[in-house]
Chain A
Amino acid sequence: AQSVTQLDSHVSVSEGTPVLLRCNYSSSYSPSLFWYVQHPNKGLQLLLKYTSAATLVKGINGFEAEFKKSETSFHLTKPSAHMSDAAEYFCVVSESRFSGGYNKLIFGAGTRLAVHP
């Protein structure tokens, strides 16, 4: 079975400093991996996705993530945090079930990012 572990429930950074949100996954075969962002009382927005192409994936708002199979990691980074980046971030792995083409998304518990002036 597939699973996702987000290693930090809360991360706090100063504006202008780098952001690192850590994610490890377990999968019995090549997974698809995603990062979503959720602002308070809002839906989830896709930041970026990895689907077995380039291992370094660039997303929206300056975020990127690197797929490392040997470490089973998919950490999210950004060189310079902005106040508007304060939100909750979810790492997600896709589990494919071949019956009917259903793709189940397995969510991590989330990391709340705080950005201080």
Chain B
Amino acid sequence: SQTIHQWPATLVQPVGSPLSLECTVEGTSNPNLYWYRQAAGRGLQLLFYSVGIGQISSEVPQNLSASRPQDRQFILSSKKLLLSDSGFYLCAWNRATGTEAFFGQGTRLTVV
């Protein structure tokens, strides 16, 4: 069976510090990978998606970047965090020819 791991679960970082959130998928190959952000009381906003190693597409301009160094690894990064980067970040995957996505447990990021 497939599983998705996302860490850390919670993170408190000062403004201007770097960020690295990691997500890995097990039990499948060549998944589509996604990073979403969920602000308090709001729906999910798609930040990045990837259909293969080194292939990253951004949905919205922002202070964040994403990388996919391995087939089942997806990393969300920032060089300098802003207060507005606070939120709940979710990693997800689905099959290239499938439809529904499967989500990690999320990372609660608080920038202070």
Chain A residues with a Cβ under 8 A of chain B: 32, 34, 36, 41-46, 49, 51, 90, 94, 96, 100-105, 107-110
List 17 extra interface pairs beyond A43-B90, A101-B32, CB under 8 A: A34-B100, A41-B88, A41-B106, A42-B105, A43-B103, A44-B92, A44-B103, A90-B44, A94-B99, A96-B99, A100-B55, A101-B96, A103-B32, A103-B98, A103-B99, A105-B34, A109-B43
Task: Identify the closest chain B residue to A103 (Cβ).
Answer: B99
A15 to B52, CA, bound (A): 46
Contact B43 A108 (CB under 8 A): yes
A47 to B39, CA, bound (A): 22
Count: A-B pairs, CB below 8 Å: 61
Q: State which of A90, A103, A109 has its C-beta within 8 Å of the C-beta of B94.
A: A103
Within 8 A of A (CB), among B29-87: 32, 34, 42-44, 46, 49, 51-52, 55
A104 to B88, CA, bound (A): 20
**Could you say which interface size class chain B belongs to?**
20 to 34
Contact B99 A51 (CB under 8 A): yes
Chain B residues with a Cβ under 8 A of chain A: 6, 32, 34, 42-44, 46, 49, 51-52, 55, 88, 90, 92, 94, 96-106, 108
Contact A41 B46 (CB under 8 A): no
From DSSP, what is the main secondary structure of chain B's interface residues?
Answer: strand
Chain A to chain B contacts (Cβ below 8 Å), 22 pairs: A34-B99, A41-B106, A41-B108, A42-B105, A43-B103, A43-B105, A43-B106, A44-B92, A46-B102, A49-B99, A90-B44, A100-B51, A101-B97, A102-B49, A102-B96, A103-B94, A104-B46, A104-B49, A105-B92, A105-B101, A108-B43, A109-B43
Known: A32-B99, A94-B99. A43 touches B104 (CB 8 A): yes
Residues of A within 8 A of B44 (CB): 44, 90, 107
Contact B43 A90 (CB under 8 A): yes
Residues of A within 8 A of B102 (CB): 46
Contact B51 A46 (CB under 8 A): no
Residues of B within 8 A of A90 (CB): 43-44
A103 to B106, CA, bound (A): 21
Contact B43 A107 (CB under 8 A): yes
